[in-house]
A and B are shown apart, each in its own frame.
Chain A
Amino acid sequence: MDSREEVELFRTAKDLINQLSVVLRTSHIHNPNNIAVTTVIDKLVPMINHLVGSERMIVLELRGEFFYINDFRIRYSLEYLLNFDFLVREFRKRELGSLVFKGKITPEDIKKFAKAFVASTFSEKAFETIEDMTSEINNVSVERLKKIVEDDSLEPRKMIKKTYFNAVSFTRGVINKIKSGEKVNIKKAKRVVETMVDQILEQEQLLLGMTAIKDYDEYTYYHSVNVSILSIALAQRLGMNRKLLTELGMVALFHDIGKMDIPYDILNKPTNFTPEEWDIIKKHPVRGVRTLLKLKKLDALTIRSAIVAFEHHLNFDHTGYPRVRKNVELDFFTRIVSLADQYDAMTSSRVYSRIPMSPDKALSIMMERAGSQLDPLLFKFFINMVGVFPIGTMVMLNTRELGLVYESNQLFPDRPRVMIITDNKGNRTESRVIDLAEKNVEDRYLRSIIKTMDPNKYKINLAEYLL
């Protein structure tokens, strides 16, 4: 197969998933014989048969957050986001892992499958229902969603840690090199960011988890890496391609480079800043531009980095600093980086305010700022990404257990996975991860969050639990 055919197939695959989602959505509303359903089915069938024609068999599989067709991950474009999300959610609900087309199919086959799918919505044993009803269809079968074994995550977690600390170490090296006037290796920077991009695409939650641990000594370097990770993760949800994600990651990594010249005593001052000290702090965007433009020959990346370094404290409504004479719309990357920057700064313990905030508190403040200081549209995407209870949030459950949010849940943002850290009497317990989306036989949630708390206030070492 030449690459043109391959691109064509990918496009068909993407359209196929989208159309399948449309069919199932419509089937939830109308009877399968309704023209609204039959019309969308008629559009889907040739797509499937076209792929079957070239591939002989199609396995549409849900793995994690993504769909794969015959082992190829199908990347969706933004216009398909809602339909893809719907399908992920509905497959998950039914524990449906794979849908297999073993040969050419007819509209009648799809109608039967849609019926099975709808019928399983109200079934206690959703997968069994759908499996049973689908067994009557020629050339179509289903497989159960493969459970992710907890131990499997050990290796990725190790890799994520390595990536994260490599990035921090690299950032520290870059800043030291710039300070001493040495040449900086941009090729290396790109490699660092590319690795982060890859891992965000594959293991977003793990890398986001790393940004939640704020108990590091060298705030500046960790902050740069965290902002880069949060920016990439947000942009991924905005449908940016890998190349743009890398560009954004690089830009974000260097957004605070202007702080390099701020005396250590000011940056790490344990009390609030004096007006004079604030004046020095406020100069870092301009200094950042100077440093970046001196770093290497001017190119598209340097230009973008300089723009973001200059604008990241300007605010969406231009009320920030540095003061400018002409207000121009902030760069799109700036608006992403500003969100990531504010969130990480507010939830860190070594920032100007001196008072670290719990992630949920930071989010509620950011929510107030959306539309004034922050871009409201991007904030909407941001909050959908980090969830109501971002990773690292300390929570009291209705079972009187204390826990830390370990992984957010994209489908049910208020039901993340939580690591239990005390039993229902407040005693330290062997930590285990539970899923708040889990229900009992009466279809009631086993656990729910009743209160959020600030882990910093109680000196909870997040690293001990999250790393």
Chain B
Amino acid sequence: MLNDEELKKVKDIVQSFLKAKKILRMYPENNPVYINTLEDNFGKFKDFFYYKEELRLQIRQNEVLYDSEQVYYSPEKDDNLALFFFKDGLREITFKKGLSYEEMEDFLKIISLDFSRDVLEDDVVTLFWEKDFQNIEYVVDEIMLADDEDYDSQNLAALEEQETGQDDLSRAYQDAFKEGADVGDISIVPLTDKDLQLLLKELEKDSLNKAGKLTDILFEMVYLCETREDLEDLVGFFGDSLAFAIGRGDISDASALLLRVTEMLQDRKLTDEAKKYLQKVVPHAGSEAVVTLLGEVLDSGPEIEEKVIEEFVGLLDKNAIVPFMKVLGELKSMNARKTVIEALIHLGSRDIVTLAKGLNDSRWYVVRNIIYILRKIGDKRAVDYLLRTVRHGDIRVKKEVIRALGELGGAGVLQTLRECLDDPDGPVRSVALRALGNVRSEAAKRILLNKILDKNFNDRDFDEKKEYFEVLSRWKDDEIYGFLTGALKKKTFFRRAKNYENRACAAYCLGLMGNPDALPLLQKFRNDGNKMLKEFVYTAIKRIEYGQ
């Protein structure tokens, strides 16, 4: 007879399922809470099996029974353990004494899955079945599988009632003695080792990916299409195949499909109507759905070879730009972002206008990336869009856009860069300075010289001034050489310390220019009394002498 202690133990086990259902969903497998929960559950089973051979639970819609005693009850629709099992047809679950830790863990993992999600295509019974538990048995009511509950009895009755007539039997009996073929000429050829070897080879071959084969079939079907509806369907199937390949990280398969589509579009035997539909496949490959999937794969999956992605992107249409930009803002991994940026550099060159729309994105990092992409594309048409972004509230964006303007160059950027030299933020001024250096035009040089000659220049920090001279060294012409030698020699009565800073910067710049003509002048100041000037002159001489 069932005693209270036994009943309590069973109730505890059932309650521990509920707890495990929550914990296993929340924590990763290596988390101590996860591990403790499993150990706690297993301990409860061990404790129960110390006295008992098996734990048999009967499942009702809202209750679980053990030996006719209720051990669980819930009238709720959600979070109802009994209903959770019941709805898939489970009517009884038996845990046997030999239950291993792994079996229990597998069982708990299955019941912890979120079955409301569409991605789960198996129910709890199928998952139990696939595990092929040795120590967990279950009874299932299969009637729910039939479309019509009485189908079997109706059919059986109909079939069995048609009794074979004696006349028919007699006719068969008599015919059996008539002339005619006797026992058929079929012989069973015993299976040999060679057969098994061949079969093993076939089975090995069979494990190959089947998606490519489906693609082959879809291409065959293009030629078998009869209606527009067929073609429309087919375009959808190609799209699904692409998404499937991308989702599995088989980017090469996706590229192969697109390549075949482009080849097929050249096939003279294919009707214009079919071609018209087939042309839709490439834009589909660049659709938001497919690109988002690619983003997910890049973000979470193993690293994919650069050239594989390059090949795929190379086959896409410019419609992929917007989805790629969207994905760019959602990626978490640095590598994935890098890959998408490379893709956009490739695709964006075909449509700067669309790409530039990304500059309006609300996320500063996306804007910064788009500026970087525009910069890398190097199309001067981007300047107009970039100039509008210079006033961006985020300093990181501002710096990137100034950098881009410097690289793209042109007269249009100078005014903005000059203004940026007076930006209240030092880093912005620094980037603007270097950007002007990158422009490398006479006008840019003039802006820099004017800035240095400005009466306020002396007040700038030494590092900033040094940077100005450093940038100036990129123009290795006579004008700059003359300007620098003049600056090195310049003496003042007032604000001498500031003047020494300027002279040190001039010496530094002469060193960077590497012109040996400057050596005699530099030697003159090699032992100057001002320590800073002396040091910078010394470094410049060494740099010129050793060509560093």
- A58 to B173 Cα, complex, angstroms: 52
**Are B196's CB and A169's CB within 8 A?**
no
**Are A173's CB and B211's CB within 8 A?**
no
Residue B453 at the A interface, CB < 8 A?
no
Instruction: Count A-side interface residues using an 8 Å CB cutoff.
Output: 100
CB distance from A300 to the nearest CB of B (A): 7
**Are A451's CB and B168's CB within 8 A?**
no
**Are A380's CB and B169's CB within 8 A?**
no
Q: B365: which A residues are within 8 A, CB to CB?
A: none
Return the 8 tightest CB-CB contacts between A and B, nearest first.
A173-B147, A426-B173, A165-B152, A463-B159, A169-B151, A458-B172, A396-B176, A3-B102
**Are A450's CB and B183's CB within 8 A?**
yes
**Are A326's CB and B155's CB within 8 A?**
no
**Which of A172, A303, A388, A421 is B169 in contact with, Cβ under 8 Å?**
A421
Interface readout for A1-26 with B: 1 if CB under 8 Å, 0 if not? Answer: 11100100000000000000000000
CB distance from A52 to the nearest CB of B (A): 18
Contacts A170-B147, A325-B220, A388-B187: A377 and B202 contacting too (C-beta < 8 A)?
yes
Contacts A78-B199, A166-B152, A298-B240: A461 and B188 contacting too (C-beta < 8 A)?
no
**Are A1's CB and B100's CB within 8 A?**
yes
- A449 to B159 Cα, complex, angstroms: 27
Q: B446: which A residues are within 8 A, CB to CB?
A: none
**Are A165's CB and B172's CB within 8 A?**
no
Q: A435: which B residues are within 8 A, CB to CB?
A: none
Hey, which bits of chain B sit against chain A, CB under 8 A?
89, 98, 100-103, 121-123, 125-126, 129-130, 132, 134, 140, 142-148, 151-152, 155-156, 159-160, 162-166, 168-176, 180-191, 193, 195-196, 198-200, 202-203, 205-206, 210-211, 213-214, 216-217, 220-221, 223-224, 230, 233, 237, 240-241, 243-244
**Which of B102, B168, B180, B214 is A307 in contact with, Cβ under 8 Å?**
B214
- A427 to B134 Cα, complex, angstroms: 51
**Are B214's CB and A461's CB within 8 A?**
no
CB distance from B188 to the nearest CB of A (A): 4
**Are B213's CB and A307's CB within 8 A?**
yes
Q: B165: which A residues are within 8 A, CB to CB?
A: 459
Contacts A168-B151, A186-B121: A461 and B163 contacting too (C-beta < 8 A)?
yes
Contacts A413-B188, A426-B174: A78 and B210 contacting too (C-beta < 8 A)?
no
**Which of B146, B182, B203, B244 is A170 in contact with, Cβ under 8 Å?**
B146
- A160 to B193 Cα, complex, angstroms: 34
**Are B188's CB and A384's CB within 8 A?**
yes
- A209 to B270 Cα, complex, angstroms: 49
**Are A161's CB and B172's CB within 8 A?**
no
**Are B100's CB and A173's CB within 8 A?**
no
CB distance from A417 to the nearest CB of B (A): 16
Give the residues from 189 to 224 in chain A that come closer than 8 angstroms, CB to CB, to chain B. Answer: 190-192, 194-195, 198, 213, 215-216
Contacts A326-B216, A463-B162, A467-B160: A332 and B202 contacting too (C-beta < 8 A)?
yes
**Which of B168, B199, B210 is A238 in contact with, Cβ under 8 Å?**
B199
Give the residues from 1 to 60 in chain A that come closer than 8 angstroms, CB to CB, to chain B. Answer: 1-3, 6
Hey, which bits of chain A sit against chain B, CB under 8 A?
1-3, 6, 72, 78-79, 81-82, 161-170, 172-174, 176, 186-188, 190-192, 194-195, 198, 213, 215-216, 238-240, 242-243, 286, 289-290, 293-294, 297-300, 303-304, 306-307, 310-311, 322, 324-326, 328, 331-333, 360-361, 363-364, 367, 377, 380-381, 383-384, 387-388, 394, 396, 402, 413-414, 421-422, 425-428, 449-453, 455, 457-461, 463-464, 467
Interface centre among B100, B188, B206, B230 (most CB of A within 10 A): B188
Contacts A195-B142, A325-B220, A461-B164: A360 and B184 contacting too (C-beta < 8 A)?
yes
**Are B233's CB and A290's CB within 8 A?**
yes
- A168 to B160 Cα, complex, angstroms: 17
Q: B121: which A residues are within 8 A, CB to CB?
A: 186-187, 190, 299
Contacts A162-B142, A458-B172: A467 and B132 contacting too (C-beta < 8 A)?
no
Contacts A165-B151, A452-B184: A286 and B130 contacting too (C-beta < 8 A)?
no
Q: B205: which A residues are within 8 A, CB to CB?
A: 332
**Are A242's CB and B130's CB within 8 A?**
yes
**Are A187's CB and B122's CB within 8 A?**
yes
**Are B142's CB and A166's CB within 8 A?**
yes
**Are B214's CB and A72's CB within 8 A?**
no
**Which of B129, B142, B191 is A82 in contact with, Cβ under 8 Å?**
B191
**Are B175's CB and A360's CB within 8 A?**
no
CB distance from B227 to the nearest CB of A (A): 11
Can you name the residue of chain A whose Cβ is closest to the Cβ of B101? A2
**Are A213's CB and B142's CB within 8 A?**
no
CB distance from A133 to the nearest CB of B (A): 30
**Are A328's CB and B176's CB within 8 A?**
no
Can you name the residue of chain A whose Cβ is closest to the Cβ of B217? A310
**Are B129's CB and A428's CB within 8 A?**
no
| Inter-chain pairs besides A166-B143, A299-B121, A451-B181, 13 sampled, C-beta below 8 Å | A187-B121, A191-B126, A191-B140, A194-B129, A195-B142, A242-B132, A293-B237, A310-B217, A384-B191, A449-B183, A458-B168, A459-B164, A464-B162
**Which of B164, B169, B189, B214 is A426 in contact with, Cβ under 8 Å?**
B169
CB distance from A382 to the nearest CB of B (A): 11
Can you name the residue of chain B whose Cβ is closest to the Cβ of A10? B134
